[in-house]
Structure 1
Amino acid sequence: MSNISFSFAPDFCFSKLFSTLILSLTASVSLVACGGAETKGANSDEVIVLRMSHFLPAPAAMNTDALEPWAKKIEEESKGRLKIVNFPGSTLSKADETYDAAVNGKVDIGMQLQGYSSGRFPLSQIAELPGMSNSAAQMSCIMQTLYDNGTISSEYEDSHVLALYGNGPGVLHSNKPIAKPEDMKGLRIRRPSAVAGDILESMGAAPVGIPANDIYTSLQRGVVDGLSLQWDAVPVFRVDELVKNHTNIPFYSSGFVLNMNKAKYDSLPDDLKKVLDDNSGMVFSKMVGEVISAMDVEALQAARDTGSNIIDIPDPLNNPAWSGPLKQGTQKYLDSISQTGVDADAIYKKVQEVSASCKV
C-alpha cells in the first residue's frame, strides 16, 4: 500500500472554509450596519395590526360603506402587511373617550365627534355653527381644509391626525311638531355638542347631553321629547321607529376626527406610512362626505315615503322666526371662546371663507 500522506489537503480546506465564513459574517454585519433596518422595514413579511375604535353600530352605513372599505383598501395596498381591525359600537372605548384612547395608546386609531369632548376642540367647533354647511360633503371639506391650513391644527398636536370630516346638517326630530322656536319651549331635546346645546337653549329648549347609543332608550322611556340629529343617523339609531315629526332645519353640523397614536404611526416603516398617508387627509374626507351625503338623501326620502310629518325650513338664518335665536346662539358660543383670549371673530371669518370655497 502507498504511503502517500493526505495531511495537507484537510488543512488547506479548513483554512479556506474558515476564510469564507469570516468574509460572509463580515458582509452580513456590514449590511446591517449600513441600512439593514431600512431593508427590513421595506421587505418584511410581518403583519402589523392596528385596532380601530368608534361608537357607530356595526350595521351603520358609515361603518359598512366607508370605514370597512377604507381599512380593506389599506390592507390591499400594503400587500397584507398593514391590517386594520375594526371595533364598532364602543367596544374598545367610550364614545366620548375615543380620541384620548388613541392618544394614550389604548387603541391605535379612533374616530370621535369633537363635540363629545366639551371644551377640548373649541376652534374646530366654530365650523359647526349655523350657516357654515349644507351637506356632509361641504362640512368634510371645511374640516379638513381648516386643519390643513393651520387654523385648527394646534388642537390636535397630541395625536397623529389621519383625517377630519363632518356630517350633514343636524335637524330636529320630536314627539310633537316644531314649526317655530316657540314650539320648543320646555322640550327636553338631546344635543350632541355644546354648540348645538347653546343654539337649542336660545330657541327655548332644554338641552340634554346623551350619547348617540342611548338615543333609542331615552326616547322610549320619555327621558327626552326629541333630539337634534343628522338624517343619515335616523335609521342607524332607529329614531324613525319612535318619532314621526321632523323639522328639516339645518341649524348646526357635527365634525369628526379620525386620529392615530403618534408613537404607533412613527414606528411604521416609511412605505407603510405612505399607504396610510395616501388614503388619509382630503382623500378620506371627500370619500366619507360623499357617502354620508348620499345616506342623508336616502334617509330623508324614506321618511317622506313613510308619511312622516316633515316641516321644511331650508334657510333658517334668513327666516324671520328662526334667525334671531340662531344668531343669538352663535354669538353666545363665540363669546365663550373670546373669554379665553382667542380672537373668535377672526377665526369665525376664516371658517366662513373656507365654507364658501368648499360649497358644493
Structure 2
Amino acid sequence: MKIIRMMACATLAAITTGAVTAQEVTLRLSHWVPPTHPIQTMGIEPWVKSLSEASDGRIAVTIFPAQQLGAAPDHYDMARDGIADITYTNPGYQAGRFPIYSLIEIPFLADDAIGGAQAMHEWYAPIAETEMPDVKFCLANPHDPGTFHSKNPIKVPADIDGLNVRPAHATMSRFISSLGGGPVQVPAPEAREAIANGTADAITFPWNSVYIFGVDSETKYHLDMPFYISAQLLLINKDTYNGMPEDLRQILDDHCTPEWSRKFSEGWAKDEASGRQKMIDSGEHTLYAPTDEEVQLWRDAAAPLIEEWKTEVGADAQGYYDGYIEALERHDARY
C-alpha cells in the first residue's frame, strides 16, 4: 500500500511538473508602422517566428501594428503599464526623457545600421537598467542613415533657415532650431499629411521611408549624404517577463542579445538603402551630393550638439561618449 501511495505521489508530481513546463504564453507586441513595413516583415516577424520555434510553440506573439493599441510617442509607457507586453519604442519621440540614449541621435556618429545595431545594444543595454528602469530592454533597431528630403533644394545648413521641418526625433529638432528652422513634431505615420498640407517644407527620413509613408509625391529634392540615425528599441513589460516560467524567460533572453539586434536590423537597413537608387532610377527626384567643404559646414553646424548632450547628461558624459564610440568602431559602424 505504501508503495502504491509513493507511486501515486510520484505520478502527481510528474503531472504537476509537466503542467508547469508545458505552460504557454501569448504576448501582445505593439508598434506604430504599417503591417507591410520592413520593420514588421523583416524584423518583428522573423523574431517572433524564432521565439515560437525555440519554445516549441509555447511562446506566441500577437502583433498589433499601426498604433492600434496607442500612439507612437506613448509606446514606452505602454510597455511600462502593460498595455502591451512588448513595444517597439522610439525614445526620441519624448524630448529630454532619456538623455543618455539621445547620444545615438546626434549626426555624424554612426554610418551603418547593421553593425551600429550591435554596437548600440552592447553600449546601451547596461545603461537602460538605470535610464529605463520601468521596462526590460530587449533589442536596438536603428534605421539606415537618414537625411533631408524637401520641396525645394537643401544644400547647406543656411538653407534650413526659415523652413518648417519634420524632425526624426528630439535631437534633430534641436539641430533644426539651431539653424533657424521650425520643427514640426509629428510621428512618422503622420509625416505625409504634414508635408502635403504645407505644415512642413521638409522632412528627415531614411531613403525608402520616403516611399513607404508616401512622402515621395511631396518631396522631390534630397540631400545625398548619410547624416543621422534614429534607433528604436524593443521593450518588455517587467511583470510579463517576471511572470513567465524560467525556461521561457531564458528563451526570451536568448532573443534579446546584441547578435539579435544586428539580425533584427539587417533587413530594414538594406530596404531603406534601396530607396536611394529607386529615386535615381525614377528620374522624378533630384539628389544633391554636397562637396567636401559643404559636408564640413554640416559637421560644424552639428558639433555643438555633442557639448549640449554632455552638459545635459552631466559628470559621466565623457565616459558614456567614449564607450559608444568604441562600440561603433569595434563593429565598423563609426562615421
Normalising by structure 2, report the TM-score: 0.91
| Count of aligned residue pairs for this structure pair | 332
Q: Which amino acid aligns with 1:91?
A: Q
Is the counterpart of residue 185 in structure 1 residue 161 in structure 2?
yes
What residue is the counterpart of 2:311 in the other structure? 335
1:20 Cα shift? 7.9
The answer to which of 326-335 and 166-175 deviates more is 326-335
Cα deviation code 1:79-104 (max 9, x no counterpart)? 22111011110101211111211111
1:38 Cα shift? 4.7
What residue is the counterpart of 2:48 in the other structure? 71
Cα deviation code 1:220-260 (max 9, x no counterpart)? 11110011111232222111122111112333211111011
Q: Matched residues, percent identical?
A: 27
What residue is the counterpart of 2:188 in the other structure? 212
What residue is the counterpart of 1:251 in the other structure? 227
The within-5 A match list for 1:51-90 is 51-90=28-67
What residue is the counterpart of 2:137 in the other structure? 161
Provide closer, same or farther for how the CA distance between residues 328 and 40 of structure 1 changes in structure 2, counting only shifts above 3 A.
same
* SS of residue paired to 1:301: helix
Is the counterpart of residue 344 in structure 1 residue 320 in structure 2?
no
In structure 2, how many angstroms separate the alpha carbons of the residues matched to 1:104 and 1:173? Answer: 36
What residue is the counterpart of 2:123 in the other structure? 146
* SS of residue paired to 1:251: coil
1:356 equivalent among 305, 329, 333:
329
Provide closer, same or farther for how the CA distance between residues 314 and 258 of structure 1 changes in structure 2, counting only shifts above 3 A.
farther
Is the counterpart of residue 96 in structure 1 residue 73 in structure 2?
yes
Provide closer, same or farther for how the CA distance between residues 232 and 121 of structure 1 changes in structure 2, counting only shifts above 3 A.
farther
- The answer as to whether partners of 1:189 and 1:226 remain within 8 angstroms in 2 is yes
- The answer as to whether partners of 1:202 and 1:326 remain within 8 angstroms in 2 is no
- The answer as to whether partners of 2:99 and 2:313 remain within 8 angstroms in 1 is yes
- The answer as to whether partners of 2:52 and 2:58 remain within 8 angstroms in 1 is yes
In structure 2, how many angstroms separate the alpha carbons of the residues matched to 1:153 and 1:232? Answer: 33
1:315 Cα shift? 6.9
What residue is the counterpart of 1:40 in the other structure? 19
What residue is the counterpart of 1:279 in the other structure? 255
Return structure 1 stretches of 4+ with deviation > 3 angstroms: 19-29, 36-39, 313-316
In structure 2, how many angstroms separate the alpha carbons of the residues matched to 1:224 and 1:132? Answer: 26
- The answer as to whether partners of 2:144 and 2:270 remain within 8 angstroms in 1 is no
1:325 equivalent among 301, 305, 318:
301
Is the counterpart of residue 311 in structure 1 residue 288 in structure 2?
yes
1:21 Cα shift? 7.0
Provide closer, same or farther for how the CA distance between residues 351 and 24 of structure 1 changes in structure 2, counting only shifts above 3 A.
closer
Q: Which amino acid aligns with 2:58?
A: R
Provide closer, same or farther for how the CA distance between residues 225 and 41 of structure 1 changes in structure 2, counting only shifts above 3 A.
same
Cα deviation code 1:299-354 (max 9, x no counterpart)? 111111112111124878x834222211123333333333xxx4323322222222
What residue is the counterpart of 2:172 in the other structure? 196
- The answer as to whether partners of 2:143 and 2:272 remain within 8 angstroms in 1 is no
* SS of residue paired to 2:229: strand
Is the counterpart of residue 289 in structure 1 residue 272 in structure 2?
no
1:25 Cα shift? 5.0
In structure 1, how many angstroms separate the alpha carbons of the residues matched to 2:177 and 2:252? Answer: 41
Q: Which amino acid aligns with 1:306?
A: S
Cα RMSD (Å) of the superposition? 2.3
What residue is the counterpart of 1:125 in the other structure? 102
Structure number with larger C-alpha Rg = 1
Q: Which has the higher contact order (CA 8 A, sep 6+)?
A: 2
In structure 2, how many angstroms separate the alpha carbons of the residues matched to 1:181 and 1:147? Answer: 30
In structure 1, how many angstroms separate the alpha carbons of the residues matched to 2:270 and 2:212? Answer: 14
What residue is the counterpart of 1:9 in the other structure? none
* SS of residue paired to 1:168: coil
1:278 Cα shift? 2.1
Q: Which runs of 5+ in 1 are unaligned?
A: 1-15
Is the counterpart of residue 106 in structure 1 residue 83 in structure 2?
yes
Q: Which amino acid aligns with 2:227?
A: F
In structure 2, how many angstroms separate the alpha carbons of the residues matched to 1:122 and 1:282? Answer: 22
